[in-house]
């Protein structure tokens, strides 16, 4: 038993020094405006209920986000790029029955906290059409203790 303990303790020490948890930054975003681009008109609505929201967790060293939206995406992971004061990321979701792909482009301004989410549908012939935009305000989540 003593021999096993002597081998395990150094191994645990090595593993504990290699264990690393990346610092993250979390935001809660509430959408304040939603626009739908219809065939013959544009329908905009100012939102006041706070029902449409997204949580964004940013991993600055790994350059990815995990976002969870009340609208569409659930716990979705994507890589992001930095452009000026913003971070940007995109996702694509195939719709099996139609051949369409839903493409979403996100931009979070690090200074103002404004999140913009543009949604497009891509037809099988590769033509993209914008069908919605959501804009919201994000606030950094701070731990309670």
Of 104, 28, 44, 120, which is closest to residue 72 (Cα–Cα)?
Answer: 104
Higher pLDDT, 60 or 4: 60
pLDDT in tens, 35-84: 888 777 788 888 788 788 888 999 999 999 998 887 777 778 999 999 99
Tokens 């405006």: give the residue.
33
Q: Pick from 57, 55, 87: which is nearest to 73 by CA?
A: 55
- pTM beyond 0.85: the answer is no
Residues 6+ apart with CB under 8 A from 40: none
Interval 72-119: pLDDT, tens: 777 789 999 999 999 999 988 887 777 788 899 999 999 999 999 999
Domain boundaries, the chain: 22-140
Q: Which CATH class is domain 22-140?
A: mainly beta
pLDDT digits (tens, 9 = 90+) for 21-35: 778 899 999 999 998
Q: Write b or e for each residue in 113-144: b if 16 or more Cβ atoms lie within 10 A of its Cβ, otherwise e.
A: ebbbbbbbbbeeeeeeeeebbbbbebeeeeee
CA nearest to 78, candidates 93, 90, 62: 90
Look up tokens 């569409």; give the residue.
72
């Amino acid at each position: 038993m003593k021999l096993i303990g002597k081998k395990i303790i150094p191994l645990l020490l090595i593993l504990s020094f290699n264990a690393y948890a990346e610092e993250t930054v979390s935001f809660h975003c509430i959408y304040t405006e939603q626009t739908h681009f219809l065939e013959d008109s544009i329908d905009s609505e100012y939102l006041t209920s706070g029902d449409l929201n997204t949580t964004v967790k940013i991993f600055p060293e790994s350059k990815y986000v995990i976002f969870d939206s009340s609208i569409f995406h659930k716990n979705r992971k994507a890589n992001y790029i930095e452009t000026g004061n913003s971070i940007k990321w995109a996702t694509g979701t195939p719709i099996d029955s139609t051949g369409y792909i839903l493409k979403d482009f996100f931009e979070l301004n690090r200074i103002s906290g404004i999140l913009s989410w543009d949604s497009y549908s891509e037809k099988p012939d590769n033509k993209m059409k914008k069908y919605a935009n959501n804009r919201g305000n994000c606030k950094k989540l701070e731990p309670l203790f």
